[in-house]
């Protein structure tokens, strides 16, 4: 189990940007594929973006391609989600998650989850 600490959510107008951070202290961070998921009220949790342990491979949901960027710094044990051109439909609680050994887009492959951070995009 990996402790994940998220930050960076908030309220932003449509078209604006936010950057989410997720720190994972006290682990060999490069051993974990990392992902961002989100869940809107009344909706199922959905994959947003994922990155391999080395940072060399990334994957995105079609709904965020070209607008969101996932990145990581293994020296800082941190992964980020840069969100640009935000839309009201991006409003959700965003969760950081860790999967030991490889990158995945499937929620059940991730064994550790952050507490979630609220992102609200107003019109």
26-82: per-residue pLDDT in tens? Answer: 889 999 999 999 999 999 999 999 999 999 999 999 999 999 999 999 999 999 999
C-alpha–C-alpha distance, residues 19 and 80, integer Å: 7
Give me the pLDDT at residue 26, please.
Answer: 84
Give me the pLDDT at residue 44, please.
Answer: 96
């Amino acid at each position: 189990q990996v402790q994940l600490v998220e930050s960076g959510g908030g309220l932003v107008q449509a078209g604006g940007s936010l950057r989410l951070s997720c720190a994972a202290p006290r682990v060999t961070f490069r051993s974990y594929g990392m992902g961002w998921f989100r869940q809107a009220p009344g909706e199922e949790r959905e994959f947003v973006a994922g990155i391999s342990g080395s940072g060399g491979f990334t994957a995105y949901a079609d709904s965020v391609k070209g607008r969101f960027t996932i990145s990581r710094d293994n020296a800082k044990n941190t992964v980020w989600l840069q969100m640009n051109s935000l839309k009201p439909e991006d409003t959700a609680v965003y969760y950081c998650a860790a999967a030991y050994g490889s990158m995945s887009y499937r929620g059940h492959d991730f064994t550790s989850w952050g507490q979630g951070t609220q992102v609200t995009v107003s019109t």
